[in-house]
Amino acid sequence: MAKEIKFSLLYRDMWQSSGKYVPRVDQLKKIAPVIIEMGCFDRIETNGGAFEQVNLLYGENPNQAVREWTAPFNKAGIQTHMLERALNGLRMFPVPADVRRLMYKVKKAQGVDICRSFCGLNDHRNLELSVKYAKEAGMISQAALSITHSKIHTVEYYMEIVEKLVEYGAEEICLKDMAGIGRPVTLGRLVSEIKASFPNVIVQYHGHSGPGFSVASMLEVAKAGADYIDVAMEPLSWGTSHPDVITIQEMLKDAGFKVPNINMNAYMKARSLTQEFIDEWLGLWINPKNREMTALLIGSGLPGGMMGSMMADLKDVHTGINAQLKAQGKKELTTDEVLVMLFDEVQYVWPKLGYPPLVTPFSQYVKNISLMNVMLMLQGKNRFEMIDKNAWDMIQGKAGILPGPLAPEIIEIAKAQGKEFYTGVPQEAYPDELDKYREEMIENGWDLGQDDEELFEFAMHERQYRDYKSGLAKERFEEELNSLKYKKAENKSITPDATKVEKNLVEIKSPDKGKVYYDLSVELDREIIKPNDTITKGKRLFYLESNTHYQEILADFNGKLASVLIKQGDLVDKDDVIALVEIN
């Protein structure tokens, strides 16, 4: 009898591997019945990761979005699943245990059946509570292995983790091949080992298209006994996303597997609707380069979802790098040359940082350090002079145990800066906080929400939730949307960095929300720039640190500082005035 393979449609990840936002709830409700009509999906990834966060960013209630989006699939008997980051929950930094525990209760009540939990470091200690809390809430616990390729990440290495996860009670194992660099035969061996040791455990494979291995990997894991395969569909398949369901269905059918038929009329309707959402507004945040696949990702190991932010980083720093080279009388570099330099630097840095799997948020940390190293070396400085706080937390063990040893030079830098290494269970460093948030909501007269879902959202995404409640998020989003539409029509650049306020005087504004740094290597209370300092075209004005990367803001004029309004390390919102500059 032919082995049956079932498909899961990654409708959330398709969008978030391509751009910044996801469809609104009215758009999701519109396409849900068409996805059901396709008849080929046993599971749908509906939420998780940044889904709720980006809903807040454009002023929509994420709890309403999850409930209304999952409801038609629940009614049709199609399982829904979410993605969460274990210690980091649904955000980029650690979450207290009581907030994590509430998350599973809320998501189960909202109609989510399966919780896919991953630790970016593959530290099983961070996943223990994910398994426990998911099962306690009545969800299916699917524990994920963050797949990468190195001398450390062997089948034996992963099997030791699987044994702990099954011991904790995980009912399913996901191979989360977030960069698509898992080698097909090795992944097949891993699935065979899991099935041989734990025949009743469900295995699901998730692989991004990026470097091109994932189609072969899907065939190998299917042959080895995998039960579910994650897929995408046009116009958001391939590239930084995932292989298309049509290709995978035809391949597996040819290989003798039992696979579901696809209602092609419904596929074309769903394809058309997704394109409609892109054309309406979502495409304004989708970089066309995200449609490309590149074998260069094999060496660097960066996940497909990172390519968008990395290309944005390169755009930000490219001008500054060339200005520095020109001032030194050296040959300027093309974007491709800088990209190759960055890929090479990631390959150099990654082993020295203990081989953390390059998945959110650790891929950002490795990429940020690599990008800074490239900039430092072009300035004639040493590597690792600039490492941000979140990356240090990873290096010091505050996020979990690194898979491999740190390089001696990294340890020496840590000692020189008086940094101590953490060896305890990461969760224990973050005390419970729900009561604090509950008290504030009651004081503000805010509804805690059905099943405490609003309380959960506030505790998980405090800053974004405040902006959502005040209406600031919606106002800011609509301004950004209108600006992008106007500038697209006018074929102008997207992010001007200065606005004239009077003759010869300009405001330097922040292009986004984050922390301002004039120099990443000095203490926060030092005065780094001051009135009358000279500003030259191409010179860095400041860095803006977001949750995912550093953006270098450069001057496009000559002048001198009239006044500095923001101190080193201060938090700013988009369009906050950083300084006033008098133009020559």
pLDDT of 478-521, one tens digit each?
A: 888 887 776 676 554 333 344 444 446 777 888 877 888 777 54
Tell me if 83 sits within 8 A of 118, measured CB to CB: yes
In angstroms, the CA 465 to CA 479 distance is 19
- In 3-state terms the chain splits into helix, strand, coil percentages (rounded to 5) of 50, 15, 35
d(CA 283, CA 285) in angstroms, rounded, equals 5
Average pLDDT, the chain: 88
Residue 149: alpha-carbon gap to chain centroid: 20
| pLDDT tens sequence across 111-126 | 999 999 999 999 999 9
Q: Does domain 497-583 have CATH number 2.40.50.100?
A: yes
Which residue has 């990395």 as its token pair?
310
What's the mean pLDDT in 89-109? 96
Share of the chain above pLDDT 90, in %: 61
SS3 520: coil
Query: Which residues share a beta bridge with 505?
Result: 502, 582
**Residue 261 CB burial class (10 angstroms; 0-12, 13-18, ≥19):** exposed
pLDDT of residue 549: 56
CA dist 65 to 23, 51, 135, 370, Å?
A: 10, 9, 23, 37
pLDDT score of 255: 98
Query: Per-domain residue ranges for the chain?
Result: 6-285, 294-429, 497-583
- The span from the CA of 155 to the CA of 161, in Å, is 10
Of the pLDDT bands very low, low, confident and very high (cuts 50, 70, 90), residue 172 is: very high
Question: pLDDT tens for residues 193-211?
Answer: 999 999 999 999 999 998 9
Res. 383 pLDDT band, cuts 50 70 90: very high
In the chain, DSSP finds a helix count (H) and a strand count (E) of 21, 17
Residue length of the chain = 584
Confidence band for 523, pLDDT divided at 50, 70 and 90: very low
b/e string for 144-173 if b means 16 or more Cβ within 10 A? Answer: bbbbbbeeebebeebbebbebbbebebbbb
- Extended strands (E) in 510-558: 514-517, 534-535, 540-545, 550-554
Give how far Cα 139 sits from Cα of 54, 114, 164, 172, Å: 24, 5, 19, 11
Rounded mean pLDDT, 451-468: 96
Of the chain, the end-to-end C-alpha distance in Å amounts to 80
For domain 6-285, the CATH architecture is Alpha-Beta Barrel (3.20)
